[in-house]
Chain A
C-alpha cells in the first residue's frame, strides 16, 4: 500500500512537472512573436466570416470581435 502511494506521488509529481514545463514567460523583447501575422485571429477573411456567421446563428448577436492594439504590450 505504502509503495503504491509513493509510486502515485512520483507519478503525480512527474505529471505536474510535464504540465508546468510548458509554461513560459514571453520577455518584452520576444513580443515580435505575438504581433506576428500568424497570431492574428482574423488573418483569414473567409474563416472570420464563417465564425461570425456561426456566432450570430448561435448567440443572436454579432460584432465586437475586433481587438485593438498591436499586441506588443508597448507603453
Chain B
C-alpha cells in the first residue's frame, strides 16, 4: 500500500492558497452544501462515528462518541470549541491548518455546529499565534461575506457564528475544561469531572471541544463518506495525521501521513534524515508528554497508534522531536521540567507541589549536587501524580520523567557521580564527524 493519501495537505502552499476563491476551487464548501441541504444532524453524527475519527489533539478519543452525548433536542444552547491552543512543545501542526487551510476548518466547524445544533462556535487560539489569527480571521471575514457562516447559511434555516477567542499565554488552557473556563473570562483552571463537558461545559451548557485537526477532517468525511475515511490509515486508526517534526532533523516541518506509515521513511526520506548526517539517538513521538523512544525502536515501528502504544509510548499531539547522538538527556529533561513547573496552574496539590519539586531536583543534579536517590524520587513523584490530579498535566510530566529515565538513566547517574554531563550539557546537534 502506498499509504500516501491526503486529506488536509492536498495542495501546494502559495501566498494566496489560503483564500476563499482558491479554497473553493479545491472543492471547499461542497461538503457544507451537502450537509445542510441533504443531511440531518443525526445523519452527520452517525457518519462521524462510523468513520472512526479519533481526536488528534493528544487524547485520541472517538469524536463521534463525544458528539453523541449531546442531546439535540434538549432545548438548551450547545457550544462547539475548536482547540487551537497548540501549546504542547514540539507541536505546530494545527498552525498549518490555521494559516494555510483555514477554510477547511471553517467549513468543518459549520458542519459540526449543524450536527450538534450549535449556534455559537469558538476557536480558542493561543494568544501568541498572531499570524494564524490574522489568517483565520481573514478567512472568517471572507466566509461571512459569502454567506458561508452567520445568519441563514447558504440560504437554509441554519445560523451559526464563529468567534475566535484568543488566549493570553497559558499551556494548561489547551486542556479542554481549562479552555472553556478561560473562555468564561477566568483563570485557566481545569475542572473535575463529573460533570462531563458534553453535559455541562461552557457556562454549564453542553459543549464539544475538538482539536483543530480533528474538526478539519469533518468536511472530507461528509464529502467522501465514512467508508472512504476508514479505507485510509489502519482499521483502528483511520485517516491521516499531521505530524510536526522538529529538533535535529534536516527538513523540519509539517507532514501529513496515513496512520500506519513507516516511521523510518518519514525521518530519512521525507524529512531528509538527521542534520549533518548525525545519528538518531531518540525521538519524542508526540509532544513532550509522550515517552521517549530510542532511534532503534523508532526505526522498527510504523506510525500506528497501536504499535506506538505497544512500544510503550503514544503518538500524542503529533509533535515529534528528533534528537541526535551527543545530546544530553539530563539537560533535556531539565528544559521539560522547567516548562511544566512554569505552566502548572497550581490548583491541585500533586501537580502544584510535585512540578516544583522535580524541577528543583533536576536543577540540583545539573548544578552538580545530585544524589542517586534523586532518580527514584523523581519516578516516585511522577507515579504519585499519575491519575491523582485534576487534569492530565500531572500525568504528563510523569511520562516525560519516567520515559527518559527508563532509557537514559546512565546519563543521570554519570552526572550525579561525576558532577558533569556525559555530553558537556549539550542540546544542539553536533556534527557527526
Q: Do A and B bind each other?
A: no
The chain B residues found within 8 Å of chain A, CB to CB, are none
